[in-house]
Structure 1
Amino acid sequence: MQHSQSDNGIRRFDACIGRTAFSPHRHDVYTLGLTVRGVQCFNYRGAARHSLPGELVVLHPDELHDGHPGTPDGFAYRAITIQPHRIGAVLPGHSLPFVAGGQSSNPRLKQAVRAALADLDEPLDPLHAADALYDIATALHVAAGHTQPGGQCDAGASERARSYIHAHLDQPVSMEDLERAAGQDRWQLSRDFRSLHGTSPYRYLTMRRLDAVRDRIQRGGSCVQAALACGFNDQSHMTRHFRATYGLSPARWKRSVMQGAHAARTIVQD
């Protein structure tokens, strides 16, 4: 079993279960787990359930459940647990979302959980953790049958947050920092920023850092220097984001740019 902790009320882990059976028990947190191998079986709210690879289990706080493998080969899963008051903070004025049956096929919720569990070797930095929390909480709200939380946007606050991001690309940025810069509650800022800029504060920050990395590499800088100068933890951290965004490594991207520039010069000379 592998664990990853954050200080934002989120815990991520993966587990491989052989023939172990869990007796009925409860958690005081939301547990959202993606089955990655085998058949995960559990009893929940008086009914037998099972989860196959790619399917999502959603356990509400304080709900009695058990667990056992559905085949002799056991099963494996990745999961995230979130303290309920963290969910409630994102959804002020709403009751905690309850997903009936302990499972959900909602694509938005599955994507939010999958994104949060994508790389357990890389700790969630504070802004990434806030981003994951917002995405999961609002997706849970919709998966539970409610409409998307909304309201009038504060464009000025979002622009102040965006300006702060641009001024601090090479430094750690937290949701607390953006909240202070914008002068707006962090969860309202999360909603407004997405509405006005088409993406979340964390993803916006990551993309602007990658823009800066590409500029440095194109001007002859090394990948190591570019990663550290642009706010990434190290080269491997930057490379993972670069590959996920552009579909190729920084080194391959640099070669393709150089080849393109050489071809353009050749055409001009001809």
Structure 2
Amino acid sequence: MSFDRIRLDRPTAGLQRMAARFGGHAFDPHRHETYGIGLTLSGVQQFHYRGSLHASHARQVLVLHPDELHDGHAGEGGTFAYRMLYLDPATVSQALDTRPPFVAEVVTNDWAMADIVDEAFLDFPEPLEPLAADATVGRMAELLARRSDGTRRKPVGALALRAIARARDFLVAEAHRTVRSDELERVSGLDRFMLARHFRLAFGTSPHRFQVGCRLRHAQAMIADGATLSETATTTGFADQSHLTRHFAARFGVTPGRWAMLSRGQQASPTGRRSRPGTGR
């Protein structure tokens, strides 16, 4: 049995870091509301993404976009290790003063991107200082823009950006409960449909998925710190443990129980994963 392991820090200034190693199956299909910039350290990292199977070898960089379904597993029957930077699309948009860029090339030999990932992990898992996080996001955002498809992306207007920022802050503050559309309308001053359009343009996801993501990141941290699943579900606003498990697996590609073993450095039992033939990360 392979020794699978994940280490994840807390988000800082729109950036979160993860280091992991896996043998065989790693993650079932899932989505993030962030960009995922990965650097493969060893082995072959395979994943289904945007209708194709991709492979990233040692020192190659992979780029995953917000809200895009993907999975993950080791290629060629071996093991692989990698590092990930998760970038908040709103912070990327702010750094570029335009809508978040789209990079068509999924796996690349971009040494500049690889260097940024390496530098961000120099003191990992020690917390990244806010100024260092800002610099990392800014530099990576510039490289994403340079590698983008070249489509001119109209920035979200200043008034709309302030309005959806108020909505986002409200969703973060009220992540423990269900927020209604009329509440966001009052907070933002926009009708629910205009808010949804601007929110997706700026943040790469819907208000609902954003709030669920906030809950799940809190749940992820609680489980890694040793909280029970029932306690975690209650604290983070899910109806019960099964409700948490469904959303957690869809968001992270692993069940809460498997996440607990991975994040605490325990060997993961094959029964702790929802593996399916022909799927991975």
- Give the one of 79, 90, 95 matched to 1:90: 95
Secondary structure of 2:25's partner? coil
Paired residues of 2:43 and 2:79 also in contact (CA < 8 A): yes
Match of 1:68 in 2: 73
Identity rate, percent: 38
Matched, 1:110 2:110: no
| Unaligned 5+ runs, structure 1 | 148-270
Matched, 1:2 2:7: yes
Higher RCO, 1 vs 2 (CA within 8 Å, ≥6 residues apart): 2
Which amino acid is the alignment partner of residue 121 of structure 2? L
Which amino acid is the alignment partner of residue 125 of structure 1? E
Paired residues of 1:6 and 1:129 also in contact (CA < 8 A): no
- Give the one of 12, 25, 31 matched to 1:26: 31
State the shift of 1:146 in Å: 4.7
The 5 A counterparts of 1:45-194 are 45-92=50-97, 94-146=98-150
Which amino acid is the alignment partner of residue 88 of structure 2? Q
Q: Alpha carbon RMSD of aligned pairs, Å?
A: 1.8
Paired residues of 1:22 and 1:67 also in contact (CA < 8 A): yes
Match of 1:167 in 2: none
Secondary structure of 1:100's partner? coil
Paired residues of 1:10 and 1:129 also in contact (CA < 8 A): yes
Secondary structure of 2:55's partner? strand
Secondary structure of 2:77's partner? coil
| Unaligned 5+ runs, structure 2 | 1-5, 152-281
Secondary structure of 1:42's partner? strand
Aligned pair count reads 146
State the shift of 1:117 in Å: 2.6
Cα distance change of structure 1 residues 48 and 91 upon mapping to structure 2, 3 Å threshold = same
Secondary structure of 1:5's partner? coil
Secondary structure of 1:98's partner? coil
What is the alpha-carbon distance in structure 1 between the residues aligned to residue 56 and residue 138 of structure 2?
Answer: 25
Secondary structure of 1:119's partner? coil
What is the alpha-carbon distance in structure 2 between the residues aligned to residue 72 and residue 88 of structure 1?
Answer: 39
Match of 1:153 in 2: none
Which amino acid is the alignment partner of residue 109 of structure 1? M
Which amino acid is the alignment partner of residue 131 of structure 1? A
